[in-house]
Structures are given as structure tokens and as C-alpha cells.
Structure 1
Amino acid sequence: MMGAFYPLNLFLFTLSLVAITAHAHNITAILDGFPDYSVYNSFLSQTKLADEINSRETITCLVLSNGAMSALTAKHPLTVIKNILSLHVLLDYYDPQKLHQISKGTTLTTTLYQTTGNAPGNLGFVNITDLQGGKVAFGSAIPGSKLDSSYTKSVKQIPYNISIIEISAPIIAPGILTAPAPSHCSEVLRNIMLKTVLCEIFGHEFSGIYQVFVVS
């Protein structure tokens, strides 16, 4: 009797993967419609950060204009660019309304860089402060850091999945220019473990489905 339900269970599981894939956001596809951020978008692909952003359910991207990105990329190698851009990916949802309603006027929020294991102390956090006159400033959460960047405008929101907002200048945390680049090792290990467990549950036929819907 249990064997009769196996094909149905596998089919339903496959449909759930399709549904997840269909509803997932795609940061590079979204930014393709905004040529002012084409350089930023290109480096999300080059650094593979786009894949990490797309794998998150709730996220905020602090994008930089082509001018700001060109100045940044002219000075640093790709590994450093990846560090910096990781600090511009917030692991929470911030739209313009939320930015102007920050409790007590300031907050520290976790970034994608914090998940790399290369961020001691507050290096992987960003300080968001609602200043007087409606201005919202951004900076490193490391004590003594300046709030050198500010909110410029909203780009795109898919509540409460992904928010994309433009800031005036890159956030450069002390030490991030010399820190090791984020590694994909932990993500690869998680995928291997996931595949192993699911193959044990659903059988080796699951391997092909995994390749299509997870690895790709």
C-alpha cells in the first residue's frame, strides 16, 4: 500500500519544487530593467552573489549607480568587490517606509557578509540611522565608523520578499578591503547533505529531479 503512494508523493514534491522555483525572486532579472545599475548587476553575476541573493526568502539590496560602482571597481580586485557587495545585502526587508520608522532612530542589521565566517565583531553588520529632515544614513556598524552613505531612492519592492534601494556611496567597513573573500564551501556542503538525505527518503530517482530544480 505504501508503495502505491510513492509515485504520488514524488510527484507532489516535484510540484512543490517547481512552485518554489517559479515564485523565487531573481535579482539580475529585476535589475535588467534598470540600466542605471548595469555595472552593479554585472558584478553580482561575476562574484556569484546573485545566486546567494536569490536563495534568500527575505532580503534587501543596497544598489549603487553605475558611476559609484565604476569608481569602486577601478580600485579593487574581484575578491574585494565581493566582500564589499556582500556588505550591501541586508538579511531583512527594508522598504522606504520602514527606513523612516526605525525604532529609536537607529539600528544594526545583519548582512550577507556576516554569514561568511570572515566577519569578526560588527564587521558584518550595517548601521542604519534615520537622521533629521527625513535623511537616512548608512555606515559600518564598527564603533567609530562614519555614516558616509545615504538613502537616495527606491528601486523595486516585492513585499516582503525583496527590496532594492539605491544608496549614494559604498559602505566600506574597516578591514573589509583586506578580509578573505566569502566562501561557497558551506553552501556546497549543505547541498550535498540535502541531496543525500532526500535520496534516502525518496530513492535514487530523486537525483535527477535534484539536479534540475536545485543545482541548476
Structure 2
Amino acid sequence: MAAVVGIYAEPKEKIDFRKISGFVEGNLGFTVKLKRLKHGIVQSKGLLYNPIATGRLFEKVRLKKSDIDILITDRLIATYEDSDRRLHVRAAVFGYPSVISTSGIVEAPAKPKEYYLQKQKYSLLKAWELKEGEVKKVFRDRFIDYHDKRMPEVLKGFVSQAIFFNLTGSPFCEKKNCRLFNAHWQEDLIKAQIHSGKFCKNHQQELKSIKEEVGCHA
């Protein structure tokens, strides 16, 4: 069973990673080692995420004693879907290492429908640049934005998903009140990570077993 989680931080904006480390250590039982990167590791061609190029660069900075590796970047990334032959912006791409994008957390889950209606209206009037800030204030409690104070709380959930992916191959939960819920809407993301901020009963039991396996007590 993995015992050390390596978190590699690329973001330029100030994020209190101590909150995330404390959450992982307290709730999942792992030791967390944080490494702040001086240079960007996450690679893409345009928006299209390049896991091979990222992996090569990552090996040069990888911690010697880490069992699960998670890169956190502010770079916006996307993956190509064969089903609709389109690029899809991602909040996270799970793998070895897993990559979590703070920009993707802002851009990937859809904002409230009313927000887009307001954007469409003012865009038609060629006034969106003037009205964007005003509209965002109206909906600010309903989506995560850049430089958002709630970002560390949301990152706790995505880091948890990356860890579950590594341990079980299954990072998501169908229950909307669980940290592992795969939210496609910003309001669902906020519900799972901010309003609930907990794991469902099934995953709480799974966490208890995981903590026991890594030698910690629930």
C-alpha cells in the first residue's frame, strides 16, 4: 500500500498547499511531500495534453520516495475524445503522474445556464467586456473563478480523486455529496467540495481500510 504522496506545484497564484497536505494526511493517512517547481512540467500542444512529454520532464523532478505523484498546474489542458472528435478541457487527467489544472477547475465544469444567457445577451450588444465583472458578481457564489479563495478546498477533492485512481483505478463516486463526485457543473462541484466537503459513507469505510493499511488509525 502506498504511503507517500508527492504533490508538485506549478501554479503562479498563491495557494495554501498546507491545507491540502493536512487534509490528505488527516483523512487518507498518507505522508505528503510538497515540491514547488521552478519551471513548468506539464506539456501540451496548444490545449492538447501531452502525457509522454510531461512524463519525460517529470522524471527529472520526481521525488525519490513517493508512491503517488500529483502535478498541480495553472496551465489549461484538454484531451481529445474519439466519440465526438473534439477537444475537451479538463480539470484533471489521472495517470502516472496525475495532473490537476486550476484553470481547468474554472473552465471545465459548466457555469449556471443563467450566466451563459447573460453572456449571450451582452455579447450580442457588444458589451460583454464592460459587463463581465458585473455579471460575475451576481453569480460568484455559483461557480469557482480565478484567484478564488475556495480553490484549496476544491483541490482537496481532486487530489483525493487522483489518490483513489492510483489505489483502486476508480476515482469517482455517483453521490453528489461525495468529494469524489465527478461534477460537470460548477454548482455540483461547489456542492460536493464546499457545501458537503465530505466523503460518502461507502468511501468513508474505504478510507478507514486504507488508513489501517498504511499504519494509521482512523
Please report the TM-score for the alignment, with normalisation by the length of structure 1.
0.22
Higher helix share: 1
Which has the greater radius of gyration?
1
